[in-house]
């Protein structure tokens, strides 16, 4: 089902607000680049710098608020940059380390349902320790109280990063279960778009660490999960329309850097 007019308006307003807020806080780096400046001009160099800055912060400034806007009509709760919890049992930490060791040595294959149940059994066992896990990029709770904790990553994460991604997902599950052992919890990695399109996303690099069916959503799979089938294509159209609407505003903003 495509996005409703209400969703489209909400998403487009979110994109416009994010871009305009970025304009207000953006200052080009003061680095002197005499050859680049003379070749390209100050305005083009400022635009390049802005795009680079936007790429660096696209997750927090664009993808997170858009994801929340998209999910808000399908989920009971949709929030960004939330805490997963503050307590974890020492036995849960021990089991998480065992899971990580077994995956690293390829003794076992990732199996999220089995891993969650292992952690659930010990989530309140033994000493409880205070921890500060990585913040959750997008927190969702469905109408039947199923919880989703989502970590939005860049389109091309390094292969070595997936070990830490996996640990974060397991720790999120452990701190949520420490507070509510019966919680139906899902923790997953989201990659907003496929840079290899039309070829499939290269998932093999993470196959040994992530349960690809339970812990990873890429591009259309991610956005359609948030907003319903067809949401990804509608979302691309939203970005295109906003880009056309803001084109003069963007050109005027960067014209100040010509002199």
Give me 71's structure tokens: 């999910």
Q: Which is more confident, 173 or 1? A: 173
Report for 22-26, 159-163, 225-229: range of highest mean pLDDT: 225-229
- The per-residue pLDDT for 225 is 96
Residues 182-197: pLDDT tens digits? 999 999 999 999 888 8
Cβ atoms of residues 88 and 128 within 8 Å? yes
Note every long-range contact of 203-207, with CB atoms under 8 Å and residues 24 or more positions apart, other chains counting: 205/159, 205/162, 206/159, 206/162, 206/165
Closest residue by Cα to residue 129 from 170, 87, 94: 87
| CB burial of residue 115 (10 Å; 0-12, 13-18, 19+) | buried
| pTM of full prediction above 0.75 | yes
Task: Label residue 40 by pLDDT band (50, 70, 90).
Answer: confident
Cβ atoms of residues 59 and 154 within 8 Å? yes
Domain ranges, ordered by start, for the chain: 1-74+229-259, 76-227
Contacts of 20 (CB under 8 A, 6+ apart): none
Task: Label residue 259 by pLDDT band (50, 70, 90).
Answer: low
**CATH number for region 76-227:** 3.40.1560
Task: Label residue 98 by pLDDT band (50, 70, 90).
Answer: very high
Q: Tell me the average pLDDT across 208-225.
A: 94
43 has pLDDT over 60: yes
């Amino acid at each position: 089902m495509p996005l409703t007019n209400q969703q489209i308006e909400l998403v487009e307003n979110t994109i416009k607000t994010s871009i305009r807020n970025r304009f207000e806080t953006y200052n080009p780096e003061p680095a002197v680049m005499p050859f680049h400046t003379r070749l390209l001009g100050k305005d083009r160099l400022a635009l390049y710098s802005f795009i680079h800055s936007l790429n660096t912060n696209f997750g927090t400034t664009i993808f997170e608020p858009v994801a929340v806007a998209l999910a808000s009509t399908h989920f009971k709760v949709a929030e960004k940059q939330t805490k997963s919890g503050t307590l974890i049992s020492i036995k849960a930490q021990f089991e998480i380390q065992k899971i990580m060791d077994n995956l690293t040595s390829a003794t076992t294959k990732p199996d999220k349902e089995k891993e969650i149940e292992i952690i659930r059994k010990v989530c309140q066992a033994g000493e409880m320790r205070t921890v500060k896990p990585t913040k959750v990029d997008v927190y969702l709770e469905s109408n039947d109280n199923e919880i989703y904790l989502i970590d939005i990553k860049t389109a091309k994460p390094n292969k070595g990063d997936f070990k830490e991604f996996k640990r974060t997902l397991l720790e999120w599950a452990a701190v949520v279960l420490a507070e509510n052992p019966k919680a139906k919890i899902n923790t997953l990695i989201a990659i907003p778009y496929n840079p290899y399109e039309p070829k499939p996303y290269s998932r093999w690099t993470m196959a040994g660490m992530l349960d690809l069916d339970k812990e990873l959503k890429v591009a259309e799979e991610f956005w359609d999960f948030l907003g319903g089938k067809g949401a990804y294509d509608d979302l691309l159209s939203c970005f295109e329309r906003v880009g056309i609407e803001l084109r003069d505003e963007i050109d005027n903003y960067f014209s100040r850097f010509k002199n």
